[in-house]
Amino acid sequence: MEMNRWKQIGTIVLIVILTFELAWLGENPWVLTPKGALVENSAPPLPTLPEETPAPSPTPSPTPYIPVYDEDELWKLAIASIYYPLESEYEVETSIVEGYFFDARAAGALQDMLDAARADGVSLYITSAWRSRAYQAELYENRVYRFQLEGYSREEAEIIGATVVARPGTSEHELGLSTDLLTGEYQVLDSGFAETEAYAWLQEHCTEFGFIERYPQGKGELTGIIWEPWHYRYVGQEVAQYISENGLCLEEYLAQVGLLPE
């Protein structure tokens, strides 16, 4: 009887121990989990990453605006040079501006520019404007002759002379759109004009009236003419401002818009 009672007590103790062990294993499931296996709900969930937002496309840079005239205004862009000579005498209707002929369509702009300069105390005046083919030929021959007197051959004198006075058919004066300007304080057509108050005024204001310095410094290879700070050409206000702001000569602008003669 005593033996049976101890067996019963041992059985009860064993049941109690097994109960506690099973309870402990239930609270610690990783004890029964093979190494490396995943345990459901064993760790807090990973944070959800926000969906990637594509980078915004860069705004394209605006295409620089290049003014271009309609066909009825292309007369403002006529060109005559050693590279693009006129085939025949240029026909143009002229008006008189202070004793000189100028294209009638641009004469008002020239007069307005002269008046504005004088209102600012700058005494600009015209020394040359439209020229006929015959008069241009006379000026050119006189220049060639002067170089011959300096010892140059006729061929050499013609080449050098053409850099100072354009050959007939290659002068913009024949278009009636160009004018040579001087001032009461400086009356010589040379680079010294660039040191005058008049030149400074023209550099600041000529585009307001549609004019450009036609043969700027450093552009001789393109224009075929030496620097002439006194020579101004009407091209219209919009194109004049574009040419000036971008440091171009007329040839470069015409090339940009596809209007340079072949």
228 is catalytic: yes
Question: Is residue 42 pLDDT above 90, yes or no?
Answer: no
Architecture of domain 74-131+173-256: 2-Layer Sandwich (3.30)
pLDDT in tens, 208-245: 999 999 999 999 999 988 899 999 999 999 999 999 99
Q: Where are the domains of the chain?
A: 74-131+173-256, 132-170
Instruction: Name the active-site residue from 228, 251, 252, 262.
Output: 228
pLDDT in tens, 85-117: 999 999 999 999 999 999 999 999 999 999 999
Question: Is residue 55 pLDDT above 80, yes or no?
Answer: no
Q: Which pTM was predicted?
A: 0.74
Integer Cα distance of 185 and 221 in angstroms: 31
Averaged pLDDT score across all residues of the chain:
84
pLDDT of 190: 93
pLDDT of 46: 45
